[in-house]
Amino acid sequence: MAHQLPLDELNTVIARIQGLLLTEEKVTNAVQFLALAAKESVTGTIGAGVSLLDARGRRTSSGYTDKTVELADAAQYRHGEGPCLTAWATESPVLVQDLRGDGRWPAWQAAVRHLPIRSVVSVPLLAGKESIGALKLYAATAGAYGPSSPGLVQLFAAPAATLISHIQASEAPHRMTEALQASLYSRDLVNRACGVLMERHGLNHQDALQQLMKTARETGSPLQDISASILAGTPALRD
């Protein structure tokens, strides 16, 4: 069963990815490790991967964790539709709680009918103002992902986008940039705030994240600001 990675292990994941970015030949391994971390962090996920453009401008899957992801993504590229491509194009998260009852991508849904996919969550990879791809997760059961799942996946998407943009720009990969550090800091801040809420109110990780996101929407404040208030002891959440 998939599980939530603790904060220190999340940091270890990113550190190992950074260590893998030493040569061009190891880029795929690094992104695959990131996909595996995303898979293991969201309960019910059977496969995860990253979609981006290759050197010839073609959409491709990089770092997918298993054959199901490869086949599902290939069908999206072939038919020009699907949740991953929608997240990429709209620069907004996409949540599918039951693929059999969702009619947004009929050609793609027919193509993956034989695959063990019922739920999907996909978020765009945003590097600055540019959407360079998408990170996606697939589950075999309906309702595997809830309203808070896109927010959790976005915690991986921000540093992932920075890493990939560095690779594509052929910048020095052996050191963290300020942008990557900021992305990691924001993600860690949210995770630590979730931990406080879990201990304080007896919530699980997804419920705690959902509470944070709800408060952010209601107050119009950034998620990291709400998280900082929780860590500072300010009662930011509403009853």
Dump pLDDT digits (tens) for 24-50: 445 566 677 778 878 887 889 999 988
Q: Is residue 148 part of a domain?
A: yes
CATH number of the structural domain spanning residue 210:
1.10.10.10
**Tokens coding 49:** 């991967």
**Does 182 reside within a domain?**
no
pLDDT at 168: 62
CA gap 111, 99 in Å, rounded: 12
2 in any annotated domain: no
Task: State the Cα torsion 215-216-220-224 to the nearest 10°.
Answer: 140
Instruction: Note whether 124 and 192 are same-domain residues.
Output: no
Is 238 inside any structural domain? Answer: no
Full residue range of the structural domain in which residue 34 is found: 7-173
* Residue 48 structure tokens: 């995860």
- The three-class DSSP label of residue 29 is helix
CA distance 105 to 177: 38
Q: Is residue 180 part of a domain?
A: no
CA distance 101 to 149: 19
pLDDT at residue number 63: 75
Question: What was the pLDDT predicted at 86?
Answer: 92
Q: Kindly state whether residues 196 and 99 are assigned to the same domain.
A: no
Question: Same structural domain for residues 24 and 91?
Answer: yes
The token duo for 12 is: 């270890």
**For residue 66, what is the DSSP state?**
S
Characterize the bridge pairing of strands 94-96 and 59-62.
Answer: unpaired
Split into its structural domains, the chain has a count of 2
CATH of the domain at 12: 3.30.450.40
Residue 105 domain flag: yes
Q: What is the reported pTM?
A: 0.64
Low-confidence ranges of the chain (pLDDT < 50): 1-3, 20-25, 55-56, 171-176, 236, 238-239
Q: Answer yes or no: is 122 within a domain.
A: yes
Identify whether residues 144 and 198 lie together within a single domain.
Answer: no
Q: Using N-to-C axis directions, what is the helix angle for 7-20 and 149-168, rounded to 10°?
A: 20
Report the run of H or E that residue 132 belongs to, with start and end.
strand 130-139
Q: What are phi and psi of 130, to 5 degrees?
A: -110, 135
Question: Are the C-beta atoms of 128 and 43 separated by less than 8 Å?
Answer: no
Tell whether 198 is covered by a domain: yes
Find all residues with CB under 8 Å of 36, minimum gap 6, and list them: 48, 65
